[in-house]
Amino acid sequence: MTLDRSTYIQFFDGGVEPQHGLLGGKCASLVSLTAAGMPVPPGFAVTTALYDGFVDQSGLAATITMLLASLDVDDVACVDVVSLRIRDEICSRPVPSHLRAITIAAYEELQSRFDHEVPVAVRSSATAEDLPDASFAGQQDTYLWLIGLDAVLEKIRQCWASLYTSRAITYRAKNGIPDEGLSMAVAVQKMVNARAAGVAITMNPATGDRSKITIDASYGVGEMVVSGQVTPDNIVLDKVMLSVVSETIGDKHAELVPDLESKSLVEREVDPERRQRRCLSDAELLLVAAMAKRAEKHFLCPQDIEWAVDADLPDGDNLLLLQSRPETVHSSKQAVPGSAPSSSSTSNFNLSSIICALTGVQPKL
C-alpha cells in the first residue's frame, strides 16, 4: 500500500500549507512561522491522522467512547479512574507497524541534518488548544531534552495519552468542548541549549493595553518561567518605540540546564550576583520585542510567544522562536481607555480575532 507521508508526518519546513485539523494549534503555528522565515528550530509534526489511525486500527476508539459516554465530570474519583484507564490503553496497545515505521523514518531524517545526534523536545499539539476563547496551555504534556529514538516514541505516546488526563477531560466538559472529533498531533523539535528563555505577550496582560509588549525572562530553559517555578525578570516596553516602560528584576533562583553526564536537564541554583541582574542584554531585549511584534503581524492578533537565546549560536543569530499562540485573556476585550492602537487597526483586530477563533492560524498580511 502506497502512503502519502505528508498525511502522517509534516516537517516544519516542508512547504505544506498548515492545516489546524491535521496539525493542532502548536504545530500549525510552527509550520506557519517557519514558512514566514521566523527563526524556528527544525522539527516535524506527527499529525492527527497518524494518531487517529492508531486509535482506529488498535480498537481504542470504541473503548474511549464507551468510557466517556456516561461519565459524571463532577465525580472526581470517577474521572480519575476513567482517565487512568484510557491513558493506560493508549500507552500499551501496539501502534500499527506502518505508522511506527513512518515515525521512525521522520526522526532519523531530522537527526540526519546534524553531525551528531541532538536532543529533541516532544510537545503535544491538540486540535482544541491555542484558540483565543479556550486556552489549553499546560493541559497536555511537554517532554524536554530527549535523546534516542526509544525515548521519543515513548513520549509521543504519552503526549497522546495526555489528551485524556483528568484535568483535560474536566476542562473540555466544563467549557463545552466535545470529545467527538478530538485529536492530537505531536511536535518533535530540536532542543535549544537555552542560556536564557521566557515568554513575551504583545500587550500588557494586567490591563489589556495593546500598545505595550510584556516580556518575562529567566536563565536556562524556559519551562520554569512557563510553569511559574521561578520569578522571572518582567519588562514592559512601548510597542512602537520599543523603549522600556517598566522593569522588575526577578529573583530567578534556579535554572534548567543540560547535564552532559546524565543526558538530561537538571535544576541548578543561580548564584546571587546573576540573580540581581537582568538576564537579557539591552540588544537581546529589543530582539525579543521585535520578534513578538513580527509574530503578531503574521497572525493578525495579539500573541503569546515562547522564545530562547541559544548558547550554542553566535550573538545576534541566537534568538529562536519556540512557539506562538493567540493571547487568550484580553484579546476579545476592548483596549483600556487611552491606550494606543497597535500596528493593526481596530477593525482589523476585530476581524482577525474572529478568524483566529475559527482557524487558529492565519496567513500574514
Amino acid 129: pLDDT? 56
Residue 126: band (very low, low, confident or very high) from pLDDT cuts 50, 70, 90 = confident
Are the C-beta atoms of 163 and 126 separated by less than 8 Å?
Answer: yes
pLDDT digits (tens, 9 = 90+) for 18-65: 999 999 989 999 999 999 999 999 999 999 999 999 999 999 999 999
Better pLDDT: 334 or 365: 334
What is the widest separation between alpha-carbon atoms in the chain? 62
Determine the average pLDDT of the residues in 12-21.
92
User: How much is the pLDDT for 175?
Assistant: 86
What is the per-residue pLDDT for 122? 97
Which tens digit of pLDDT belongs to each residue from 70-80? Answer: 899 999 999 99
Work out the pLDDT band at 333, boundaries 50, 70, 90. Answer: low
* Per-residue confidence (pLDDT) for residue 105, from 0 to 100: 97
Domain ranges of the chain: 5-190, 194-359
- How is residue 118 written as a grid cell? 541532538
Checking if the pLDDT of 360 tops 80, the result is no
Q: Mean pLDDT across the stretch 97-114?
A: 97
What confidence score (pLDDT) does residue 58 get? 94
Helix (H, G, I), strand (E, B) or coil at 172: helix
Residue 134 phi, psi (nearest 5): -160, 100
CATH (residue range 194-359): 3.30.470.20
Is the pLDDT at 346 greater than 50? The verdict is no
Instruction: Tell me the three-class secondary structure of 269-294, residue by residue.
Output: ECCHHHHCCCCCCHHHHHHHHHHHHH
* Mean pLDDT (whole number) for 190-216: 96
Can you tell me the distance from the alpha carbon of 104 to that of 151, in angstroms, rounded to the nearest whole number?
Answer: 12
Question: What pLDDT shows up at residue 140?
Answer: 60
Alpha-carbon separation of residue 146 from 153, 185, 189, 238, 304 (angstroms): 10, 18, 10, 38, 25
- Is the pLDDT at 195 greater than 50? The verdict is yes
pLDDT tens readout for residues 217-243: 999 999 999 999 999 999 999 999 999
Q: What is the rounded CA–CA span in Å between residue 218 and residue 196?
A: 6
What pLDDT does residue 5 have?
A: 83
Residue matched to cell numbers 498548515: 18
| Cell 537538571 -> residue | 266
pTM of the model: 0.85
| Residue 204: per-residue pLDDT | 95
CA distances from 296 to 136, 244, 290, 291, 313 (A): 19, 19, 10, 9, 25
Structural class in CATH, domain 5-190 = alpha beta
pLDDT computed for residue 90 by the predictor: 97
What is the DSSP secondary structure assignment for residue 154, as one 8-state letter?
H
C-beta neighbour count of 187 within 10 angstroms? 27
